[in-house]
Structure 1
């Protein structure tokens, strides 16, 4: 996989079969689509390519738009680099580009990226106002000498695997189902920051995560079984996302993990949290004693879910 960010570096590339999209999360549905592109390219003796954007198009059009991404740019790039396509073209999305008709946009793809075959995602639309559809793309392709193919969707249990579906699952706390659609464990990266240290007083010291990507979706508030990575080493953990109503945390959202059987000082270190299972919703307790009893029960459930010795 060669990732290309400059259209001037495409001059000597051969003709391609390609698809285009945001590819947020680079989930199993995306990989199913990209595998179709690779198959088409192999059948026609072409290079295989992905065209995507370094910034979500809606952020360019709406400066106040707050996306809830499944993957930030560096995460998306890492995931794409693991795929079998020959090239990934990072196409800067601009207001000028957004004003192009679908036909004009296809001309850009043909001129700058040598795309001879365009594989369209089953629900993908492009061009100004996104008013044109697959039949229009086919007609423009015939005029331009570009073959246009409609891709098959990856459907499981009657539902097409898509970024919007995965976001919906994460907002419900359904991380197990979301992970199945993603093909990997959903994760948050960031830095361990200072907290209120209430957990330490209760016997459950926590590492508070400051996400590296503020635009990345935070799953539903509640308690989760997670794996935590610190300096490349994996640890089991119990994560809480929420406003900690028992200790009157106010409007601040906390992302804090109690790393099991761990006592090192990791303040200011980098940390990754992988979501494995949802335990329960956040709730308010009448006393810290009641909260402590519940945390002990949660911890034992986490141990069982992660197949660790119960203590």
Structure 2
């Protein structure tokens, strides 16, 4: 090959590589997870709090008991809502809901990642029965199928699946992340998704978070739950609340009030050893500790007195046993901290 031909060929290859890189970048940008734009503060809307289990398995996949046994177990523990989310399979839940209890049709599906990391684990809520998903299809295609079927998607236990921000950014359309998954901590010690939640929000994707059991064995019931604030206990109102982040997550403490007013964030809760406010960026936190041997039930912080501009702020409550509750982020438009 003469020099001019080599230059022409090299130029074509370089241009092709640049176009491929631009295409890949555009694809990643297009699939970047989106913030929840219509998020509300559950403590500022009308309704009642309902205790929910949003990640539950039965013998339809790898649980230890069937649906007819699992649902009464949760009702006995005071749950108002249970989503049955067996792997790749839906269940016939007709006859399980009444005026005091709601059963939600769901599924856990786990399509491959594009990085070679372990598969995505995703929770689909409020989907028809039956619904078939092809495990060989790309993750985004399956997420879109769930959404087009009327369902909602939650990103499950990213710490347990060894995921990073890269895997979490491969898909878009999920409306929450699991900040706590009880079963993931029993063997692997990987219950908490705080870091993943923090990282994705620092990228501009401000999302709420849920807490779940992910029950497989009956002995692991009532270890994590989500308190949903809704107008009424029916599928339409509960799913509307979930889609707007009208809830808080817990594995113990009760959050009684949480709000931002005039540059001050405040929270009231059950007895706690710590109340922590977390916000975007480096550092990004303020903790209020109870005196030794005592507890606190409220805290407030006037963040508007300092010079830093906040984008969002969320809260954590930690009780004397080390159990957490998580208040969802509140977006800060003009206040400074």
TM-score category of the 2 structures, normalised to the smaller one: under 0.3
**Which one has a larger percent helix, Structure 1 or Structure 2?**
1
TM-score, L = length of structure 2? 0.25
TM-score, L = length of structure 1? 0.27
